[in-house]
Structure 1
Amino acid sequence: MTSIRTLLLLALASTLGHATEPGTNPVNYRRHIAPLLSQFGCNAGSCHGSVHGQGGFKLSLFGFDDAADYEAIVDREADRVLKTPQESLLLLKPSGIVDHEGGKLFDIDSPAYKLLERWIREGAKNEQLSELVKLSIEPSEVNLSSASPHCDFKVFARFADDALLDVTNLAALSVVDDSLAEVDARGTLTRMGNGGTSLIATYGGRSASASIFSIDAQIGVPVLEPPANEVDRWINLRQERLRIAPVEKTDDYAFLRRLSLLTMGRLPTPEEVRSFAADSNSEKRTVAIDQALASPQHASLWATRMCEITGSREQLSSDAEIAEQQQRRWHEWFRVRFVDNLPYDQIARGVLTATSRDQRSTSDFIHACVERPTDIATDAQEYAAKPTLDLYWARRKENEQVDLESLAERTAAAFLGVRIECARCHKHPFDRWTQNDHRSFANLFAQVRYGLSPEMRMGLADALEQRRRRIAVGESPSKIPRIREVYLTASTSGNFRDAATLELLPSRPLGDKHYEADEDPREQFVHWLLLPENPFFARNFVNRVWAYYFGQGIVEPVDSFSASNPPSHPELLDGLAKEFIASGYDIRSLERTILTSNAWQRAATIPANQQNDHRNYSRFPVQVLPAAVLVDAIADVAGDDDNRAVDSPMRSPVTSAAPEYFDVFDRPERVATCDCESSHAPSLRQTMLMLADDTLLKRIQDGIAVELARMSKNRKLVEQLFLTTLSRPPTKDERKSAVKHLREAKDRIEAVADLTWSLMTTREFYTNH
């Protein structure tokens, strides 16, 4: 049913004379024609928006330069727009009257044809009108059901002069999950399946979304378990509305395995499994969660994750030894802070405002560099005591300037959850960011340099002179190593300029128009970032933590927050973000809230009478283990875990085929500015590697097989083997088959190795469930 608000907006749009059909007002290029070209994909990279255009006709990619596009369209020598509309190629080609490589786009009696025809007849003008300020969809929530499978909606554009335009027929329309609903160009949604998704409308470079709830009216509202915390409260509301019944909680065996692998990157030991299963304490799961979050392995795991998010391998030294030292320092700096559960806002500040000297004098800094420990691990521990992570900025481009564009994109993705790399060259096609937004954001960091500051040059000259004098009197002072530092300069020579006017652009965060920069613009940027009303910072990190534990973000991809990519559960995301801020950015408290929820503790199985729903958290989604965790899980079973992949993030364990596992199971390279280097989707390559790894059976034979073969009772051996590999006891049939295999075997060690190998190559072993 059309809402009262929609009716009022329609009435207002009609009153203002700015409906889709412009009425008595002239058709405007920016408001009517340019959006139409975008709707039909004319300015896409595969069409006229490509580098060289198509058929001698070139448009700017996604219409970022509408002035140039207008001139290309009305070019008198091109016959695209003539005095007679029926002779204009702008109508003849897309309507199919004249051969068009892009095919027929609309009929001659369609609204698009009529709008273009009228624009040409009126003189194909491009009058400058007020700027688009807001796009909205009415109603903002759309309800579909098996009893009422259709719903109409409207898309409205509001401009700076308060004009309101109904742009439903001009906007590009899509449904995030088109298995649940379909949308046509007239603004009608049609139900396709059960679930929740979003309708997206894009017009004039802006996007808006509306929630879609599609249900089966024949299914009753489920009776849900009382919520364990705020997470369940929001999820229960969504499940009740969509009439989705969740599965029961998983058993103790699967819970402990899931918890150990995700929080500590290791399998639980058989002793831990037995003890947990036998514990009758009703709070044992909460106790286990608290213990896991306080473990050293948990800190190492999250340090590795932060190395991926902040790009620890981007522009490393070409010297392998120095590169490994950098990686150790980077990982240890984060690890220590997760051990101490340092608030996330303080961690972010330590990264984003870093310098090498941290207020120390040049002489103290030079002395520290001279006395630096030669042992890599000891050096990393000493580096972790620094208040800031200057390695984040040590990515020199030329003339001691850092790679500003890459750093801006890295910072936006890591700490705001926004991808702006498209805006480096043109207007972002699916978000509001322009080239100037990208450049103004990069200017926040333009004063950062990586090399030798004037003060350091003078300090080094003094140090070298003192060393020369000591050598002259017979002493043997230590050599002064090559020293470079991250420092700030007052120069603005490296700042970016306006793409069109070449005027110097101010430093400004994304989406902020009133910004006063101080001596270090990064300090003011962090102040803006940590404001409670900041729409990015807290929501971004909450979404990342959620995605880690559930295998999918509330916003997915996790670093792609935009109006065209709305959260699946907006109330849940906002609620968790508010709690995170109120807790003082307590990471462990956030994790505890997620892990103690009923939603996270649900079974991964799909009952025969229920739909396969995981987007609404009615069950736990099965996840392929991260590469480093799988490598360590194999080592846990084989018993050769001297050098763990999670604890030593850049060194491959020498006792395994780790490089192959890192490749096949998509270990992030940590060089892309977005969080898009790995996929947790299962693949045939993963199965084939597990089956074909010739080192795996050898490790099993030399390790666990020898140990278990000493056990005299086959039933106990089989149980120990299942607890070691799958963290559960065998079923009756599994025990019977395994015992039979052991009894009939001529070589007991070989028989144990075969059983172990058969369990480790199952999906149950290399997935979390």
Structure 2
Amino acid sequence: MFRANMRVYVLLLIVFYLPVRSFSVMAADLSQSADEALVAQKPNLSAGPALHVLIDKFVQNRHADYARLASPLSDDAEFLRRIFLDLTGRIPTIEQTRGFLNDQRPDKRAVLVDQLLNSPEYARFVSQRLDVMLMQRMNKKYFNVSTWEEYLRTSVAENKPLDQLVREILSADGSDKAHQAKARFYLARSGEVNELTRDISRIFLGADLTCAQCHDHPEVADWKQDHYYGISAFLIRSFVFTDKKKKQTVFAEKAEGEVKFESVFEVRDKTSKGPETTLPAVFDSKKISEPTFKKGEEYKVKPAKDVRPIPKYSRRAQLGNAITRENRRFARTMANRLWAMLLGRGIVHPLDADHSDNPPSHPELLDVLTDQLMAHQYDLKWYLREIVLSKTYQRSSANELFEDKTANDLSDAQFTHALMKPLNPEQYAWAVMEATGLAEVHRNSLKTKLSEATLRKNLLGYERQFVSLFGGVPGEPVKEFEATADQILYLSNDQRIQVILPARPGNLADRLMKIPADQTAKLAEELYLSVLTRSPLPSEKQEVTTLLAGKKGSDRAVVVTDLIWALLMSSEFRFNH
């Protein structure tokens, strides 16, 4: 590694640890005609302006000096890399990069967005984002995880309404083997009521109610103990049951059982009147009453040894509707989570801290996003499309070039510029495989059998390596980016990385080695477009020329390989910007 030039090695170690800066060159704003073309792409389902127009209006109106503070729109190269990573989980091929940069159509950004949203890669990647949101990379339990992954992928490919998807998951018990995957949300958590209560409130309702389990939340006046147990009451009768004859595990339910709770503060003060109970309810929504049955008639299938009980009335079956149909908070939380997925930060931030003491940065905008998501029947593809067509999403990250801006002026919460987002493990894996040409080698080898599914099957091992190293602790929410020694050692020395760098037919190093030695500017262009999705700066071209000067044969091959590795290790590559 870096045998040819230690200076490159030392330089890249410094770059890897330096705070991330914007690497894109400032671009002029899109022309008015291009902006009008973006607006015209999607017919409005209402009489008012398109959502992406409203997004820009409410973001700009929130800050009196927004016009001065805001970065211009990204140039085509910056936008291209960002939109590919956000919608497909990979960087574009060099052919796709050249094609887009040479495209002179004023509406080419909207055209590209629609192409990506209708690609099989979009369905795969967005389903992975939903998987991480719902399951936090939990380990396999009770059945093959691939069936769950395929369920999510198919749902996204069909553009299943997001509220419908959530209702299916929350109503599933796993008894139907053909659709058992839907029950993974419950089964992977072993049906543990407190864990489910916390995750349901956090993921779907934007409220981390952990501290409300034992008492009203000590720091958030909005969150009460009975909010926690109102959700818990939907689940208190449920449990994991394994049918030994069928060799099948399901999330079963009894006909009886109530939550009981009392504040630990009252117990200590000796003012408690004894345990309380509550019917199922989602926050302050109406409590859900249930039918009564004569004693002994509560079951379709009565409890018995090794027999799964089936009650006539299921509390848990009411949960999906109560979450998605009977309270606006679900739509608000999903609107905020999807916004954060693309913009790098929620309008309510942190995402699970939606309460009156932590107001949204743009309350009018969040209301509009919530209203529109509901009005468009939780159309995931439509919603993501509107966000990425906005100027707010398309801003450059190059804000620091304005010397008259202060840190306070450029608060991330103002969305005056694109935020740096560390690549998630899947993005990082596929970006590396695309940049080095490994993905192209496998595309060529598959020939007529090539598809998104067959390519991923061939390269799944590489993806899993990155997930295992960069995916965090299974079962815990994703944390902020932090490079670890293990990650650096893997990227620097692991043979599974080093082996894909040298030239082999069809990969990047092979293409670079075929460029004549006296055309280093062309080599630099091919290198930077392939790895960083942009042309090199004059200083970068000169650096490549200097490093390759006088190098022939194997010495030149070593320098070429080191140059590829150097760009892969840069902060510019590691982040979506």
Which TM-score bucket, shorter chain as reference?
A: 0.7 to 0.9
With 306-315 and 250-259 compared, the bigger mean Cα shift is at 306-315
Q: Does 1:553 align with 2:357?
A: no
Distance 1:345 1:657 in 2: 30
Q: Does 1:542 align with 2:307?
A: no
In structure 2, the residue matched to 1:426 is: 215
Does structure 2 retain, via aligned residues, the 8 Å contact 1:701–1:753? yes
Q: Does 1:435 align with 2:225?
A: yes
Alignment of 1:107-186 (within 5 A): none
Q: In structure 2, do the counterparts of structure 1 residues 687 and 409 end up closer, same or farther at CA, with 3 Å as the change threshold?
A: closer
What SS does the corresponding residue of 1:609 show, helix, strand or coil?
coil
Superposition deviation, residue 312 in structure 1 = 5.8
Distance 1:633 1:654 in 2: 15
Alignment of 1:220-235 (within 5 A): 229-235=53-59
Q: In structure 2, do the counterparts of structure 1 residues 316 and 439 end up closer, same or farther at CA, with 3 Å as the change threshold?
A: farther
Q: Does 1:679 align with 2:474?
A: no
Does structure 2 retain, via aligned residues, the 8 Å contact 1:312–1:330? no
What SS does the corresponding residue of 1:229 show, helix, strand or coil?
helix
In structure 2, the residue matched to 1:737 is: 543
Q: In structure 2, do the counterparts of structure 1 residues 711 and 333 end up closer, same or farther at CA, with 3 Å as the change threshold?
A: same
Cα shift readout 1:38-96 (whole Å, capped 9, x = no counterpart): xxxxxxxxxxxxxxxxxxxxxxxxxxxxxxxxxxxxxxxxxxxxxxxxxxxxxxxxxxx
TM-score (norm 1): 0.57
Distance 1:396 1:655 in 2: 28
Q: Does 1:392 align with 2:185?
A: yes
Cα shift readout 1:87-107 (whole Å, capped 9, x = no counterpart): xxxxxxxxxxxxxxxxxxxxx
2:512 to 696, 705, 708: 708
Does structure 2 retain, via aligned residues, the 8 Å contact 1:645–1:653? no
In structure 1, the residue matched to 2:202 is: 413
Does structure 2 retain, via aligned residues, the 8 Å contact 1:632–1:645? no
Superposition deviation, residue 449 in structure 1 = 2.9
Indicate the structure with greater helix content. Answer: 2
In structure 1, the residue matched to 2:260 is: 496
In structure 1, the residue matched to 2:572 is: 764
Distance 2:163 2:364 in 1: 23
With 691-700 and 744-753 compared, the bigger mean Cα shift is at 691-700
In structure 2, the residue matched to 1:509 is: 282
Does structure 1 retain, via aligned residues, the 8 Å contact 2:237–2:256? yes
Superposition deviation, residue 315 in structure 1 = 7.0
In structure 1, the residue matched to 2:296 is: none
Does structure 2 retain, via aligned residues, the 8 Å contact 1:632–1:646? no
In structure 2, the residue matched to 1:85 is: none
Does structure 2 retain, via aligned residues, the 8 Å contact 1:507–1:517? no
Does structure 1 retain, via aligned residues, the 8 Å contact 2:422–2:576? yes
Paired amino acid for 1:724 = S
Q: In structure 2, do the counterparts of structure 1 residues 760 and 315 end up closer, same or farther at CA, with 3 Å as the change threshold?
A: closer
Cα shift readout 1:595-628 (whole Å, capped 9, x = no counterpart): 0000111111122233341321111112221122
In structure 2, the residue matched to 1:293 is: 117
Q: Does 1:626 align with 2:420?
A: no
Cα shift readout 1:518-543 (whole Å, capped 9, x = no counterpart): 622334333333347x2311110111
Distance 1:737 1:313 in 2: 41
Structure 1: 5+ residue stretches without partners = 1-223, 359-364, 366-382, 461-480
Distance 1:692 1:647 in 2: 29
What SS does the corresponding residue of 1:700 show, helix, strand or coil?
coil
Does structure 2 retain, via aligned residues, the 8 Å contact 1:355–1:485? yes
Superposition deviation, residue 654 in structure 1 = 4.0
- The count of aligned residue pairs is 477
Distance 1:657 1:585 in 2: 31
Distance 1:418 1:275 in 2: 45
Paired amino acid for 1:708 = L
Cα shift readout 1:2-58 (whole Å, capped 9, x = no counterpart): xxxxxxxxxxxxxxxxxxxxxxxxxxxxxxxxxxxxxxxxxxxxxxxxxxxxxxxxx
In structure 1, the residue matched to 2:305 is: none
What SS does the corresponding residue of 1:484 show, helix, strand or coil?
strand
In structure 2, the residue matched to 1:750 is: 558
Alignment of 1:27-426 (within 5 A): 229-240=53-64, 244-311=68-135, 313-314=137-138, 316-317=140-141, 325=144, 327-358=145-176, 383=178, 386=179, 389-395=182-188, 402-426=191-215
Q: In structure 2, do the counterparts of structure 1 residues 330 and 440 end up closer, same or farther at CA, with 3 Å as the change threshold?
A: same
In structure 1, the residue matched to 2:382 is: 589
Q: In structure 2, do the counterparts of structure 1 residues 537 and 387 end up closer, same or farther at CA, with 3 Å as the change threshold?
A: farther
In structure 2, the residue matched to 1:26 is: none
Paired amino acid for 2:465 = A
Does structure 2 retain, via aligned residues, the 8 Å contact 1:706–1:749? no
Cα shift readout 1:214-255 (whole Å, capped 9, x = no counterpart): xxxxxxxxxx99996110010111133667531211110111
Distance 2:218 2:171 in 1: 31
Superposition deviation, residue 729 in structure 1 = 1.3
Q: Does 1:611 align with 2:418?
A: no
What SS does the corresponding residue of 1:734 show, helix, strand or coil?
helix
Superposition deviation, residue 356 in structure 1 = 1.9
Paired amino acid for 2:480 = S
Paired amino acid for 2:260 = F
With 705-714 and 648-657 compared, the bigger mean Cα shift is at 648-657
Q: In structure 2, do the counterparts of structure 1 residues 570 and 631 end up closer, same or farther at CA, with 3 Å as the change threshold?
A: same
Does structure 2 retain, via aligned residues, the 8 Å contact 1:645–1:651? no
1:638 to 422, 433, 436: 436
Q: Does 1:520 align with 2:520?
A: no
Q: Does 1:483 align with 2:248?
A: yes
Distance 2:405 2:454 in 1: 41
Superposition deviation, residue 671 in structure 1 = 1.1
Superposition deviation, residue 751 in structure 1 = 2.1
Distance 2:255 2:111 in 1: 53
Cα shift readout 1:659-711 (whole Å, capped 9, x = no counterpart): 5x754x4x244413xxx43213x557599458733433442125532342123
What SS does the corresponding residue of 1:247 show, helix, strand or coil?
coil
TM-score (norm 2): 0.75
What SS does the corresponding residue of 2:256 show, helix, strand or coil?
coil
C-alpha RMSD of matched pairs (Å): 3.3
Q: Does 1:658 align with 2:447?
A: no
What SS does the corresponding residue of 2:370 show, helix, strand or coil?
helix
What SS does the corresponding residue of 2:393 show, helix, strand or coil?
coil
Distance 1:560 1:735 in 2: 47
Distance 2:104 2:284 in 1: 53
Superposition deviation, residue 742 in structure 1 = 2.6
What SS does the corresponding residue of 2:251 show, helix, strand or coil?
strand
Does structure 1 retain, via aligned residues, the 8 Å contact 2:214–2:262? no
In structure 2, the residue matched to 1:447 is: 237
Structure 2: 5+ residue stretches without partners = 1-31, 40-51, 264-271, 292-312, 444-450
Distance 2:330 2:435 in 1: 40
Provide the identity percentage.
25
Distance 1:649 1:411 in 2: 31
Does structure 2 retain, via aligned residues, the 8 Å contact 1:297–1:647? no
Superposition deviation, residue 630 in structure 1 = 1.0
What SS does the corresponding residue of 1:310 show, helix, strand or coil?
helix
Distance 1:573 1:274 in 2: 37
What SS does the corresponding residue of 1:491 show, helix, strand or coil?
coil
Does structure 2 retain, via aligned residues, the 8 Å contact 1:265–1:646? no
Paired amino acid for 1:389 = K
Distance 1:403 1:267 in 2: 40
Q: In structure 2, do the counterparts of structure 1 residues 313 and 721 end up closer, same or farther at CA, with 3 Å as the change threshold?
A: closer
2:357 to 564, 567, 580: 564
Paired amino acid for 1:506 = L
Distance 2:366 2:493 in 1: 42
Q: In structure 2, do the counterparts of structure 1 residues 525 and 602 end up closer, same or farther at CA, with 3 Å as the change threshold?
A: same
Cα shift readout 1:292-329 (whole Å, capped 9, x = no counterpart): 12222222222222222222654743xxxx66x2x212
